[in-house]
Amino acid sequence: MRAVIQRVQNASVFVNDQLISQIGKGLCVLVGISRDDTREDMDYIVRKILNTRLFDNRETGKRWSDSVVDRDYEILSVSQFTLYGNLKKGNKPDFHQSMDTKLSEDFYNEFLDKLRTGYKSDRVKDGQFGAMMAVNICNDGPVTITLESPTTTNKSTQQTDKPTNS
């Protein structure tokens, strides 16, 4: 799994010019699911989203000390299969590493359930799976962190780090 986590002042999702979802201060998370992702990948990404310290503590002034949970902020999650787009051959993106749409919708919904269970269900919002969305993000900082689950990282390393014969 891949996630692009952005600390935001606010974020919103529109589909066909209709507001689907919006948040105030918190995190906007773009989520990509690969065809090889497992529940362990999902658990890792959920844990990181909820616990990564991207916010300053207002009381102590300490930087990078609080998570979205610590601050009681909101999360807007947006499914984005293009995070697994590949441009190694030519200029047209190849999305073969993305999970099949039928499987990924269930996987993504389970991911959302885990986020909501791990935090507060009313603080976790999402876009509309499979729709063409206009995602408005007011990045705060700007702070943007890219995250990849360890099993995905290991798989891509195994595929690209082939031993050479000397």
The pLDDT tens digits for 87-140 are 999 999 999 999 998 899 999 999 999 999 999 999 999 999 999 999 999 999
**Other CB atoms within 10 Å distance of the CB of residue 94:** 13
| Catalytic option among 6, 14, 80, 107 | 80
Contact yes or no for 149/1 (Cβ under 8 A)? yes
Helical segments of the chain, H only: 39-51, 68-71, 101-118, 150-160
Catalytically annotated residue among 82, 101, 117, 146: 82
**95 is an active site residue:** no
- Beta-carbon contacts of 90 under 8 Å, excluding residues fewer than 6 positions away, are none
Residue 154 pLDDT: 62
Report if pTM > 0.85: yes
Q: Please state the domain extents for the chain.
A: 2-149
To the query of whether residue 82 is one of the catalytic residues in this protein, the response is yes
The domain made up of 2-149 is a member of CATH 3.30.230.10: no
Query: How confident is the model at residue 10, as a pLDDT?
Result: 98
Angle (deg, nearest 10), helices 39-51 and 101-118: 40
